[in-house]
Structure 1
Amino acid sequence: MTAVEAPDMRRMPLRKVLSVLVTLGAVAVAAYMGWLMWQAYMAAPWTRDGTVRAYVITVTSQVSGRIAELGVKASQYVRKGDPLMKIDPADFEIALASAEAAVASAKADLANKQAEAARRARLTSLAVSVEEQQIYNAAADMAAAAYRQALSNRDQARLALSRTQIVSPVNGYITNLVTQAGDYATSGQRALSIVDADSFWVDAYFEETLLRSLHIGDQARVALMAYPRTLEGTVVGIERGIAVPNAESDPSGLATVNPVFTWVRLAQRVPVRIGLKNVPSSIVLAAGLTATVSIVPNSAPAGAKPVLPAATE
Structure 2
Amino acid sequence: MAYTSKKLILTSTVFLLAVSVLAIKYWHYIINPWTRDGQVHAQVIQVTPRVTGPIVELAVVDNQFVKAGQLLFQIDPSTFVASLKFARAELDKTQDEIEALKKQVEASLAVREQRIIEVKQASLEISEVKARLMQADAQFKRVKKLVPDQAMSQRELEVAQADYIVAQTRYDRAKINLLDAQVAAKQADADLAKDRANLGADGEMNPRLRSAQAKLREAELNLEFTQVRASVDGYVTNLVLRLGSQAVADRAAMALVDVNSFWVHGFFRENYIAPIRPGNKAVVTLMTYPGIPIIGEVESIAWGIAQHDGSVGEKLLPDISPTFEWIRLAQRVPVRIRLLDVPDTIKLRVGTTASVMVMTEAGENSNVDSVEAVPRALQ
Q: TM-score range by the shorter chain?
A: 0.7 to 0.9
1:254 partnered with 2:242: no
1:241 partnered with 2:304: yes
**Alpha-carbon distance in structure 1 between the residues aligned to 2:364 and 2:75:** 51
TM-score scaled to structure 2, two decimals? 0.68
Following superposition, the deviation at residue 165 of structure 1 comes to: 1.4
Return the letter of the residue paired with 2:197: D
* Structure-2 change in CA distance of 1:29 and 1:87 (3 Å): closer
Higher mean C-alpha deviation, range 230-239 or range 28-37: 28-37
1:277 partnered with 2:340: yes
Match for residue 191 of structure 2 among 135, 143, 154: 135
What's 2:144 paired with? none
Return the letter of the residue paired with 1:166: V
CA contact 1:216–1:300 (8 Å) conserved in 2: no
Structure 2, unpaired ranges of 5+: 119-180, 201-206, 366-379
What's 2:221 paired with? 159
**Alpha-carbon distance in structure 1 between the residues aligned to 2:190 and 2:51:** 44
CA contact 1:219–1:235 (8 Å) conserved in 2: yes
Following superposition, the deviation at residue 94 of structure 1 comes to: 0.9
* Structure-2 change in CA distance of 1:116 and 1:253 (3 Å): same
Q: Match of 2:356, SS? A: strand
Return the letter of the residue paired with 2:95: K
- For 1:98-117, what aligned pairs fall within 5 Å after superposition? 98-117=86-105
Q: Match of 1:173, SS? A: strand
Higher alpha-carbon Rg: 2
What's 2:268 paired with? 206
1:172 partnered with 2:228: no
* Structure-2 change in CA distance of 1:69 and 1:300 (3 Å): farther
**Alpha-carbon distance in structure 2 between the residues aligned to 1:91 and 1:136:** 42
* Structure-2 change in CA distance of 1:38 and 1:234 (3 Å): closer
1:293 partnered with 2:356: yes
1:219 partnered with 2:281: yes
What's 1:6 paired with? none
Return the letter of the residue paired with 1:274: I
1:122 partnered with 2:140: no
* Structure-2 change in CA distance of 1:300 and 1:234 (3 Å): farther
1:55-88 CA distance string (max 9 Å, x none)? 1000000011111211111111011111111111
**Alpha-carbon distance in structure 2 between the residues aligned to 1:84 and 1:132:** 61
CA contact 1:68–1:86 (8 Å) conserved in 2: yes
Following superposition, the deviation at residue 160 of structure 1 comes to: 1.2
Return the letter of the residue paired with 2:198: M
Q: Match of 1:222, SS? A: strand
Return the letter of the residue paired with 1:245: H
**Alpha-carbon distance in structure 1 between the residues aligned to 2:211 and 2:99:** 15
Paired residues in the alignment total 289
Q: Match of 1:111, SS? A: helix
Q: Match of 1:156, SS? A: helix
Q: Match of 2:249, SS? A: coil
Q: Match of 2:295, SS? A: strand
Return the letter of the residue paired with 1:44: N
CA contact 2:108–2:195 (8 Å) conserved in 1: no
Q: Give the RMSD, CA atoms, in angstroms.
A: 2.9
**Alpha-carbon distance in structure 2 between the residues aligned to 1:229 and 1:27:** 28
**Alpha-carbon distance in structure 2 between the residues aligned to 1:279 and 1:39:** 25
Higher mean C-alpha deviation, range 32-41 or range 97-106: 32-41
Identity percentage of aligned residues: 32
1:264-301 CA distance string (max 9 Å, x none)? 11111101111122212221211111111112242669
1:126-161 CA distance string (max 9 Å, x none)? 575423442343244334433332222112111211
Match for residue 183 of structure 1 among 229, 245, 249: 245
* Structure-2 change in CA distance of 1:284 and 1:143 (3 Å): same
Return the letter of the residue paired with 2:49: S
Higher mean C-alpha deviation, range 80-89 or range 20-29: 20-29
* Structure-2 change in CA distance of 1:120 and 1:200 (3 Å): same
Match for residue 83 of structure 1 among 40, 65, 71: 71
Q: Match of 2:36, SS? A: strand
**Alpha-carbon distance in structure 2 between the residues aligned to 1:66 and 1:16:** 87
Q: Match of 1:213, SS? A: coil
1:162-194 CA distance string (max 9 Å, x none)? 211111111100000011221111001111110
* Structure-2 change in CA distance of 1:137 and 1:114 (3 Å): farther
